[in-house]
Structure 1
Amino acid sequence: MAAAELPDALADVLAGIHRLVRRALRRGLTGPRLRGAQVELLRLVEEDPGIRVSDAARRLYLAGNSVSTLVNQLGAAGLLRRETDPGDRRSARLLPTPEATARLRAWRDRRDALLRRQVAALPEDDRRALAAALPALRRLAENLRKEAEPP
Structure 2
Amino acid sequence: MDDGITRTAGSLAHQLGPLRRAVLRASRSAADLPDIPEAQIEVMRSLAATGESAPSDLADTLGLARSTISNLLSQMQGARLIERHLVAGDGRRTSVGLTPLAETRLRAFDESAAHILAAALRDLSPGDVATIAAALPALERLQHRIVGG
TM-score for the superposition, normalised by structure 2 = 0.91
Distance 1:125 1:31 in 2: 33
Higher strand share: 1
Deviation at 1:104, TM superposition (A): 0.4
Check whether the contact 1:53–1:92 (CA below 8 A) recurs between aligned residues.
yes
In the alignment, residue 11 of structure 2 is paired with which amino acid? Answer: A
**Equivalence for 2:142:** 140
Distance 1:56 1:87 in 2: 20
Deviant stretches of 4+, over 4 Å: 28-31
Distance 1:144 1:87, change over 3 A: farther
Q: Determine whether 1:15 maps to 2:17.
A: yes
Q: Which deviates more, 102-111 or 61-70?
A: 61-70
Distance 2:6 2:52 in 1: 44
Question: How many aligned positions are there?
Answer: 147
For structure 2, which runs of at least 5 residues remain unmatched after alignment? none
Q: What SS class does the counterpart of residue 88 from structure 1 fall into?
A: coil
Distance 1:63 1:6, change over 3 A: same
**Equivalence for 1:40:** 42
Deviations 1:55-87 (A, max 9, x none): 001011111121111111111111100000114
In the alignment, residue 72 of structure 1 is paired with which amino acid? Answer: S
Q: Which of 110, 113, 116 is 2:115 aligned to?
A: 113
Distance 2:66 2:81 in 1: 19
Q: Determine whether 1:76 maps to 2:44.
A: no
Q: What is the percentage of aligned positions where both structures have the same residue?
A: 32
Q: What are the residue-to-residue correspondences of 1:40-59 with 2, within 5 Å?
A: 40-59=42-61
Q: What SS class does the counterpart of residue 2 from structure 1 fall into?
A: helix
Distance 1:13 1:135 in 2: 18
Q: Determine whether 1:66 maps to 2:68.
A: yes
Distance 1:87 1:134 in 2: 44
TM-score for the superposition, normalised by structure 1 = 0.90
In the alignment, residue 34 of structure 1 is paired with which amino acid? Answer: I
Q: Which of 114, 118, 129 is 1:127 aligned to?
A: 129
